[in-house]
Amino acid sequence: MVKKAGEKTGQFGLWLTEYIHENHSNQGYQVYYDHGDSRLHDNVAVIKGFLGDTVTSKNKLAEVDVMVVNQNHEVLLLIEIEESLLSPKTLFGDVFASIFSNKFAVNVSGRQTYFSVTKQTKLLVAGYVPRKTRKKSNLMVDIRSRLEDFSGPDDSISMDQVDFVIGEDLENCLVCLQRKVIDILF
């Protein structure tokens, strides 16, 4: 069977949607996720990060995989899942594209809905680096320490709200990501 691009990401988004609905529906959280079937689930959409007040092709900076928002249209959590081997270039791209975005938008049923970033907005970048690639793993630690010294624009995600979930394989990474998301949100 051929694996569909983003398949595990879509499964993660569906899991989080169901988890929140079944266990925490009273908190008013809404999950949006990419790589699912929008004909079956109305919260499946491309999640666009941008700089400005309205998203256009000229100011779109990022596309993330999962977003959790509250009733005040504030972004609580953004998640980017790399289903292929995580490289330093990909890690930097995911982080910087997201932290320079001051708003995020989804188009559901032909209607664009906007969400603001706050100082409490968290960004998780998840991926895997096999144990046998120990040098690369150490490089990820070095990158993390350098990123901590960086500060983005005032109206964006703060670097102290960025975290990484790195596993030895994708399955391990997604299990760790589930635990991390539950810890952050609840």
C-beta pairs of 16-24 under 8 Å, 24+ apart in sequence? 16/66, 16/68, 16/181, 17/41, 17/43, 19/182, 20/68, 20/185, 23/186, 24/185, 24/186
Task: Judge whether 1 lies within some domain.
Answer: no
**Closest to 60 (Cα-Cα) out of 47, 69, 71:** 47
**List of the chain residues with pLDDT < 70:** 1-3, 132-140
CATH code: domain of residue 84: 3.40.1350
Task: Judge whether 2 lies within some domain.
Answer: no
Count: domains in the chain: 1
Write the pLDDT tens digit of every residue in 17-66.
999 998 888 789 999 999 999 889 999 999 999 999 999 999 999 999 99
Residue 135's pLDDT is what?
Answer: 54
48: domain range?
A: 7-185
Please, what is the angle between helix 88-99 and helix 134-148, to 10°? Answer: 20
Task: Judge whether 30 lies within some domain.
Answer: yes
